[in-house]
Structure formats: C-alpha cells, structure tokens
A and B are shown apart, each in its own frame.
Chain A
Amino acid sequence: MSDTHAQSAAFVRESFIPQSPPPARERGILKWGRENLFSNWFYTLLTLVSLYVVFSLLSGFLPWLFSGVWNAGSLSECREILQGVDAGCFAVLTERWNQLLFGFSYPTEAYWRPTLAFILLFVCAAPVLFSGLPRKLLILTLLYPFAAYWLLWGGTIVVPLMALLGVVLGYVAFGATVSRGFATALVAALVVAGIVWWVGIAVAGAVPDFVALMPVPSRDMGGFMLNMMLGTVCVSLSLPFGILLALGRQSRLPIIKIACVAFIEFIRGVPLITLLFVANVVLAYFLPPGTNFDLILRVIIMITMFASAYIAEVIRGGLAALPRGQYEAADALGLDYGQAMRLIILPQALKISIPGIVNVAVGLFKDTTLVSIISMFDVVGMIRGPILASTDWNGVYWELYGAAALLFFVVCYTISQYSQWLERKLATDHR
C-alpha cells in the first residue's frame, strides 16, 4: 500500500449530513416550468404566443358557453333574450333533448324502456369487461340481448323467451353431439335452435298480447339510442366474427382460407356507405317479394360485416406477432387445435391486438352516424333533419353539433380509457 496518498487513503466520517431539500428553482412547478416552458428564448417566445392563442380562444368561447340561453321556445326567442349578445342558444338542447336521445317518433310514455336498457347495459357488460367480478354474473350478460330487445321493440315476451330457449337448447344439442365431431354438433345445434325459433314465431303470433309491452317498429327508433344500439351490437358481434375470420385466414384448408381472404379483401375494398346503400335499397331486390326484412337488422348485418373484416386484420397482426414457439409448445403438450387457440394463442394475440381493436371499435361507433344518409334518424340524422329543418330552430348549428360531438366524445373516451386500463392489467410479460 505504499503507493497510495496518505491524505486520500485514511478517512473516517464522524458526522453524517442530514438530507436537505433541493434548491427552490430545482423543485416542483418552478423546475418543471423552467425546463419545459422557458428553457431558452425561443421556447419562451413559443410559450407566450401559445398562451395568447389559448387566451383569445377561451375569451371568445367561455362567455358564449356560460351566458348561453337554456330556456326559450325558438331561435328568435333566444335572440330576443340575448339582445345582440353573442352567446349560445342551448334552449334547443333542453327543448329537443328527448328527440336527440330517442328520435322523434319513439312513444314518449315508453322512454323509460330504452333508458332502462341503457342502464342495464352497464350492469350486464361489467362481468365481461372486469374479470374480477364473479363468473356467475356472466349469465346476466347472456340474458341482456333478449331483455334489451324486449325493452326496445316491445311486443310479447314470448319472442325473446323463445329466442333464448332456442339458443339454450341449441347449446345443449351441441354439447350432446360434440363427441361426434364439431361439424355434426354445429349442424345439430342449428337444427334444434331453428325448430325452437320456428315454433316460437308461431306461438308469438298466436298470443301477441301475452305479457306484452307496447310494440315499437324499427322505423320509430332514432336519436343517440340508435347509435348506441348499432355500436354495441355491431362491436360485440364483429369481435367473434373477426376472430373466426382471422383464424380462417390462417387455415390449412384452402376453401376456408380462400373464402376468408376473399371476404376480408372485398369488404375492406368497399366503402361502408356503399354497403349501407346496399342494405337499404339493393338488398330488397334479392329478397323474395313481400318479405319485410327489418331495416335495422340489415344495417346491423352490413356494419358487422364491415367491422369484422377490419378486426380480422387487426387480430391477424396479433397472431403474427406471437413467436412460433408458443404454437409449438402448445402442440408439444398435446393440446388440440381448439384448446391451443383458446388457452394459449388467442389470449396473447388479443392482448397484443387491444389498441387496434379499440381503434376499430371507436371508428365503428362514430361511423354509425352514416346511417343518417340512408334516412335513418340517428342523432346526426335528427339534427340534420327534423330539428334544423323546423322553423323554430333553423340555424342553430354550433350548439347542436357540439352536443352531438360531446356525446360521442364521452363514449369514445371511456372506451379508450377502459382499453388502456385493460392493457395495464394484462401486462404480465415484464419486459
């Protein structure tokens, strides 16, 4: 140790320095502001310009928003009350709120039905969205479509009950015959369900007033309710169809593969609005004359087909991102195709696909406003048609479209936040 310096080698600390806070300019908001807003003269200039722009936007918008009129019978009344002050005429929202939500011909005394269906949607979707809830609650999710149908369309309860019975008995038939092969079981299930439904139609026709709600025809559905209906139904249907299409596209059987590829590529190559026109007009030519194929059902089929093609491609990306080894490990353990997909491949592929699926879901939900073009009165259709065309409210653009935008934003932002929460919850790879 002869080559160490005497003064650097031996040292014993006698008193310990207590912890002290950093200097004021290195703390909290001051530090943040200095680093992010005023770190040099150019950033300082940009900050000041931005502050000015934000200020001038808000100084115009906030008075318009807060001094707006909420109670008036028409736009001219609004103007009288405002007396030249530039402010919003939100009275249109108060007066036409029910029309914006339910359309203009849904019976007023039945407004509680869609409202109840909307509240139940959250209750019954929760077991699917939050895996922490007891699994038995999934039975609510299964019952929901039938209950919601009955609430929205009304009529005798026999219709949704027989539909449910058909599904349950079809499932039982599937379980009883599945040992003879998947295809046989599927045919058996469809035959059983078909018979029950056929009987159900006959029975419902015989007793149309048995525990019946006032029937509401599809053409009376409208407003934001229509957007929510189309969005919920089409998203929840297009996910399973998208998964099937994505798996089909990977199939080794050429017929299935070609069919799936052709479907996906065709649908993706056609604008949604064209498909909606087909649903509205052209489809009638192909159906036997006299058949009354519900317009909402036709639109649901078209939007679902459109969304499934996109979701299939998103999921294909997720499947392709999985290492080959995951398939091999599942195979090597002796899992069959269905088990390997259900237990190993799809949980991981879907997790990877969440951002893409949510992207399609949000886009699809907003695309439901396109039905206003085929003369269905969704929230945009209501604004464009009955409300703006009325003599009372002709010219109230900002308030109406702003409210529609806000409704859509709330739903889409919720979906987006949920998906981010789900991604965090499912992150188990610790990369």
Chain B
Amino acid sequence: MTMTDTPQAAPKTVDRSAMKVSDEVAISIENMNKWYGAFHVLRDIDLTVYKGERIVVCGPSGSGKSTLIRCINALEEHQKGRIEVDGTVLSSDLKNIDRIRSEVGMVFQHFNLFPHLTILENCTLAPIWVRKTPKREAEQDAMQFLEKVKIPDQANKYPGQLSGGQQQRVAIARSLCMRPKIMLFDEPTSALDPEMIKEVLDTMIELAEEGMTMICVTHEMGFARQVANRVIFMDQGQIVEQNEPEEFFNHPKSDRTKLFLSQILGH
C-alpha cells in the first residue's frame, strides 16, 4: 500500500450539514415474511425508509438482518408482503427486478469483485452493459469514483493485487458508478483487518455526507452513533427496537436490546 492511499489516522469528524431526510419514500416494506424451507427467517417486517436516511441494522447473527437487505434488491425472494423500491413494486418479473437492482447499489462482506477483470473494468462493466454508457464516458466516470475512494492509481491492477480495504473501496466505487439512488451495505467491514476498517468507514461517511440513502448492516457502533439517523435492532427475524442513535445506545427500551448492547459494548 502506498502512502497516498493510507487514510489519515485521526478520526474523521462527520459533517452532518448535508444529511437531510426528505419526506419522499425510498423504500417501503409492508408485512414482509420470508421462510427458508420451514424456518421463518423474517417475520412481519414493516419498514419505511425515506430519501436521505442512514439506517444501521444490527443484531445477533442469524437474526435476519442480512436477509432483510438482500430482499430489498431481490437477491433473496420474499414469500409474503410487499416491497416497493423507488416507486417500483418488487415482483417476480425479471425486468422489474433488474431495474430495481440497477438503482440500488450493494456492497458485500466479501467484496465480490470480479477477479478476471481489472479494477477499472470492474467499475465500467455495469454502466456499459446495463446503462449502455459509451466506454470512454464510463471510464472517465469510473476514474472519478476511484479518485473519490482514493485509489485511482490502482485502476489497471487486478483485484487480487489489492489489500482487503482497497478491494472494499473498489466495490463501493463499482456500485457508485451505476449512480444508485440507494446503497445497501452487508457487513462491509466484517472481513477486514482492524487497520483497514477505518478507510472503508471513512468512505462510507463521505457518502453519507453527500446525502446518499443508506442501509448498513454492521457491528460498527461508532459508525452508527456518528452517521446513522436511525438504528434498527433485529432478533429472531423481527425488528425488536428502532430509534435515533443517541436514544438507542443510551436508553434502550427492550431487555433484548440491553443484553445485546451490553455484550458488544461491554469490553
């Protein structure tokens, strides 16, 4: 890793001035249920996300938080209930699903970059094939986003040559190249070395500062406190508690939340 792409060591101060929650609905989930075979993994989920919201979803493993955000872009199918993303109701129609997916960016725990393509090709692939952007324009665009995540000098390398933190930042840039209206983060820092978590979180903070609508499944409670406007706690496939971060962390209402918080913040 070169010196230029190492983020500053000092904790980033979050500028909340541009983070505005509008009245427009970005995602609405009504009475959504999902089963894996006989296992009832999501139960009666009701959630409305407004444009500009930064929502952190936390909870013990197996509580259904990843499954919840994977239902939003139809990586998982829900069996009951209604999901509406950016005005489009999610149905089993493939064109419908592809349209929603091109509007919703997703960042995975294990980056899932395409190892046979260079960093630049990873970023331009979807704009060129899905959005039909001309190649040159897509490349210029991609370079802008790679600069934003501070790795333009790696554009012609392959994912395997980058560190975990760099790969995850590329994954974020790759999603941004589609100019998504909503970003979903599925434990983006869980597979990273402690040193690299910060560079990824800083990128996510910058994104939030620009007013991106975000739903993050994460265990980074510092990030939740600083950036989120709403924290959702899930257990056994249900939303147990949701609140503003201050209230959520300082005065949790349910006993299950208190137990969870005491365990992850206890040491």
Q: Which residues does A use to contact B, with CB under 8 Å?
A: 323, 325-326, 328-337, 339, 343-344, 347-348, 351, 426, 428-431
User: In the bound complex, do residue B116 and residue A428 qualify as a contact, i.e. CB atoms below 8 Å apart?
Assistant: yes
Query: Nearest Cβ distance between residue B105 and chain A, in whole angstroms?
Result: 8
Interface of A is mostly: helix
Given known A343-B129, A430-B158, contact A334–B114 (CB-CB < 8 A): no
> Which secondary structure dominates where chain B touches chain A?
mixed
- Whether B160 contacts A429 by the Cβ 8 Å rule is yes
Once A335-B126, A336-B98, A351-B116 are accepted as A-B contacts, the answer to whether A329 and B161 lie under 8 Å apart by CB is: no
15 interchain pairs, CB-CB under 8 A = A326-B112, A326-B114, A328-B75, A333-B130, A333-B178, A334-B99, A335-B125, A336-B94, A337-B94, A344-B114, A428-B158, A429-B160, A430-B158, A430-B160, A430-B161
Determine the residue in chain B with the shortest Cβ distance to A345: B114
B101 near A: Cβ within 8 Å?
A: yes
How far is the CB of A145 from the nearest CB of chain B, in Å?
Answer: 29
Q: Are B98's CB and A426's CB within 8 A? A: no
Residues of A within 8 A of B160 (CB): 428-431
For A426, list chain B residues within 8 Å (CB): 116
Contact indicator B102/A333 (Cβ below 8 Å): yes
Are B101 and A333 touching (Cβ within 8 A)? yes
Evaluate contact between B112 and A339: CB separation under 8 angstroms.
no
Q: Is B200 an interface residue (CB 8 A)?
A: no
Q: How far is the CB of B215 from chain A (nearest CB, A)?
A: 14
| Cβ B102 vs Cβ A334 within 8 A | yes
What residues on A are CB-neighbors of B94 within 8 Å?
Answer: 336-337
Known A333-B126, A429-B160: A348·B116 in contact at CB below 8 Å: yes
B106, B108, B114 pick with most chain A CB within 10 angstroms: B114
Complex A-B, nearest 9 residue pairs according to Cβ-Cβ distance, in ascending order: A334-B102, A430-B160, A329-B112, A325-B112, A333-B126, A332-B106, A334-B101, A428-B158, A429-B160
Chain B 148-167, CB-CB to A under 8 Å as 1, else 0, gives 00000000001011000000
Nearest Cβ distance between residue A1 and chain B, in whole angstroms?
32
> Complex: how many Å from CA A332 to CA B130?
12
B174 close to A (CB within 8 Å):
yes
Task: Output the nearest chain A residue to B100 by Cβ-Cβ distance.
Answer: A334
Closest residue of B by beta carbon distance from A347: B116
- When C-beta atoms are compared, the residue in chain B nearest to A340 turns out to be B129
A330-B115 Cα distance, complex, nearest whole Å:
12
Question: Given the complex of chains A and B, what is the CA–CA distance between A330 and B126 in angstroms?
Answer: 9
Q: Are A339 and B129 in contact (CB under 8 A)?
A: yes
Determine if B43 is an interface residue (Cβ-Cβ < 8 Å).
no
B110 sits at the interface (CB 8 A)? yes
Whether B113 sits at the interface, judged by CB under 8 Å, is: yes
> B116, A332: Cβ atoms under 8 Å?
no
Chain A contacts of B130 at CB under 8 A?
333-335, 339
Complex alpha-carbon distance, A334 and B112, angstroms:
15
Contacts of A337 in B (CB 8 A): 94
Give the most central of A329, A336, A428: most B CB within 10 Å: A329
| Given A332-B105, A332-B106, A429-B158, 19 new contacts (CB under 8 A) | A323-B110, A326-B114, A328-B108, A329-B114, A332-B73, A333-B125, A333-B130, A333-B174, A334-B98, A334-B130, A334-B178, A335-B98, A335-B125, A335-B126, A335-B130, A347-B116, A348-B115, A429-B115, A429-B116
Measured CA separation A193–B98 after assembly (Å): 33
Check A332–B75 contact: CB distance below 8 A.
yes
Residues on B with C-beta less than 8 A from A323 are: 110, 112
> In chain A, what residue has the closest Cβ to B126?
A333
Q: Which residues of B contact A344 (CB under 8 A)?
A: 114, 125
Is the Cβ of A329 less than 8 Å from the Cβ of B108?
yes
CB distance from B4 to the nearest CB of A (A): 22
Cα A37 to Cα B110 with chains together (Å) = 48
Report the minimal beta-carbon distance from A272 to chain B, rounded to whole angstroms: 34
Report the minimal beta-carbon distance from A217 to chain B, rounded to whole angstroms. 47
Min Cβ gap B83→A in Å is 15
Provide the residues of chain B in CB contact with A334, threshold 8 Å. 98-99, 101-102, 126, 130, 178
A325 to B159, CA, bound (A): 14
- Contact bitstring B90-133, A, C-beta under 8 A = 1, else 0: 00001000110110111010101111100000000110011000
Give Cα A334 to B126, complex, Å: 7
CA distance A343 to B129 in the complex (A): 10
Kindly state the separation between the CA atoms of A344 and B115 in the bound complex, as whole angstroms.
9
Contacts of A431 in B (CB 8 A): 160
Residues of A within 8 A of B112 (CB): 323, 325-326, 328-329
| B49-77 near A? 1/0 per residue, CB < 8 Å | 00000000000000000000000010100
Nearest to B105 among chain A residues (CB) is: A332
Q: Which residues of chain B come closer than 8 Å to A330, judged between CB atoms?
A: 114
Tell me which residues across on chain B come within 8 A of A339, comparing CB atoms.
129-130
B161 cross-chain contacts in A, Cβ below 8 A: 430
| A429–B117 alpha-carbon span in the complex (Å) | 10
Residues of chain B within 8 A (CB-CB) of A429 are 115-116, 158, 160
The distance from the CB of B33 to the nearest CB of chain A, in whole angstroms, is: 22
